[in-house]
């Protein structure tokens, strides 16, 4: 309306970012959004310049194998570097966009580690998981945080508390909380629940409790559910992970927890 091209381009980026974690409710709304993206401002379909990607100061083209296959349309290509050729400076990756419009991509680090040694992920969505020992008293139930010095015994009742800090509105979320083999859930029947302003479907499986959330507004949320200690031993209680089902790049996980149960 005001011929402000810069503002139009910024709004287009906002619209695309919003679509990553939310749906456009109807087919008409989706059509209108696509029309606005394609017909206003810079033409998203005409720019085809490839981005410049360097790993440790080396260009992708220099590291790529001669017979590497590049996918038509998306530009996807796979780069495999032998372990002997991996150097510490390769941890620095730079991307330069040679187009006027926004470019999209993803980078992830995949590795294997013991579950109880995993540290929490540092993303826009954060998870803090705690275990509490629940004891009955004259004043009601008392929750005591479970620490490395606490030793559980079969028959103890635990309360699992999962705190989620979300920095944006998100839809279609899967929250998976792993469970030690020495614990058994008290809630075994899957059902839809409502807690602290958030509706979700809770599903109990053999090794985890899963929460399916249709809509999670920006904010802080707390999930709690009980477990019963059933076996003695030293167990890894795993991690709690959260991921958007339609935008898997939006994912996070908690730190791993190890528990000790005396005979």
Domain of residue 252, CATH code: 2.60.40.690
The answer to whether residues 122 and 174 belong to one domain is yes
Written as tens digits, the pLDDT of the chain (263 aa) is: 567 788 888 888 888 888 888 888 889 988 988 888 888 777 877 777 888 889 888 888 788 777 777 777 777 777 878 888 888 888 889 999 888 888 877 777 777 888 878 888 878 889 999 999 988 888 888 888 888 777 888 999 999 999 999 888 888 999 999 998 889 999 888 999 888 778 899 999 988 999 999 998 888 988 888 999 998 988 888 899 999 888 888 888 998 888 888 88
The answer to whether residues 142 and 92 belong to one domain is no
Residue 23: inside a domain: no
Contact 192, 145 (CB under 8 A): no
Burial of 85 (0-12, 13-18, 19+ CB in 10 A): exposed
12, containing H or E segment: helix 5-21
The answer to whether residues 80 and 186 belong to one domain is no
Residue 102: inside a domain: no
Q: Is the dihedral of CA 204, 164, 197, 245 positive or negative?
A: negative
d(C-alpha 193, C-alpha 200), whole Å = 6
Residue 104: inside a domain: no
The answer to whether residues 170 and 254 belong to one domain is yes
The answer to whether residues 152 and 231 belong to one domain is yes
The answer to whether residues 244 and 141 belong to one domain is yes
The pLDDT, as a whole number, for residue 14 is: 87
Tell me how many domains the chain contains.
Answer: 2
Residue 15: inside a domain: no
The pLDDT, as a whole number, for residue 176 is: 94
The pLDDT, as a whole number, for residue 184 is: 92
The pLDDT, as a whole number, for residue 5 is: 80
Q: What is the DSSP letter of 90?
A: G
The answer to whether residues 76 and 155 belong to one domain is no
Q: Phi/psi of residue 18, each to 5°?
A: -65, -35
Q: Which of 96, 128, 154 is the last residue of a domain?
A: 96
Residue 28: inside a domain: no
d(C-alpha 198, C-alpha 207), whole Å = 24
d(C-alpha 240, C-alpha 132), whole Å = 16
User: Do the strands 58-59 and 125-137 form a parallel or antiparallel pair, or are they unpaired?
Assistant: unpaired
User: Tokens representing 97?
Assistant: 């966009």
The pLDDT, as a whole number, for residue 51 is: 83
Q: Which domain holds residue 77?
A: 52-96
Q: Is the dihedral of CA 25, 32, 219, 256 positive or negative?
A: positive
The answer to whether residues 153 and 211 belong to one domain is yes
Which residues, other chains included, contact 178 with Cβ-Cβ below 8 Å and sequence gap of 6+? 115, 207, 208, 237, 238, 239, 240
The answer to whether residues 205 and 247 belong to one domain is yes
Residue 238: inside a domain: yes
Among 31, 90, 38, CA closest to 63: 90
The answer to whether residues 87 and 123 belong to one domain is no
User: Tokens representing 15?
Assistant: 């619209």
The pLDDT, as a whole number, for residue 209 is: 92
CA dihedral 165, 142, 177, 152 (to 10 degrees): 140
Q: Which of 38, 68, 96 is the last residue of a domain?
A: 96
Residue 19: inside a domain: no
The answer to whether residues 92 and 127 belong to one domain is no
The answer to whether residues 149 and 247 belong to one domain is yes
Residue 2: inside a domain: no
């Amino acid at each position: 309306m005001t011929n402000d091209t810069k503002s139009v381009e910024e709004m287009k980026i906002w619209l695309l970012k919003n679509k990553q974690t939310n749906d456009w409710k109807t087919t008409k709304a989706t059509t209108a959004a696509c029309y606005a993206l394609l017909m206003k401002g810079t033409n998203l379909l005409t720019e085809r310049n490839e981005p410049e990607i360097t790993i440790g100061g080396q260009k992708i083209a220099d590291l790529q194998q001669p017979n590497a296959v590049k996918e038509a349309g998306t530009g996807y290509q796979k780069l495999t570097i032998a372990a002997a050729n991996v150097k510490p400076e390769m941890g620095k990756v730079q991307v330069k966009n040679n187009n006027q419009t926004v470019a999209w991509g993803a980078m992830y680090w995949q590795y294997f580690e013991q579950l109880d040694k995993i540290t929490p992920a540092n993303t826009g969505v954060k998870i803090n998981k705690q275990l509490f020992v629940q004891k009955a008293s004259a004043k009601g139930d008392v929750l005591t945080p479970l620490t490395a010095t606490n030793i559980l015994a079969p028959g103890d009742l635990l309360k699992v508390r999962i705190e989620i800090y979300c920095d944006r509105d998100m839809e279609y979320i899967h929250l998976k909380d792993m469970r030690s083999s020495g614990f058994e859930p008290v809630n075994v029947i899957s059902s839809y629940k409502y807690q602290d302003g958030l509706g979700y479907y809770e599903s109990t499986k053999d090794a985890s409790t899963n929460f399916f959330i249709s809509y999670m507004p920006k904010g802080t949320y707390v999930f709690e559910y009980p477990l019963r200690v059933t076996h003695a031993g030293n167990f890894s209680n795993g991690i709690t992970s959260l991921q958007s089902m339609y935008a898997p790049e939006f994912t996070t996980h908690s730190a791993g927890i190890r528990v000790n149960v005396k005979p």
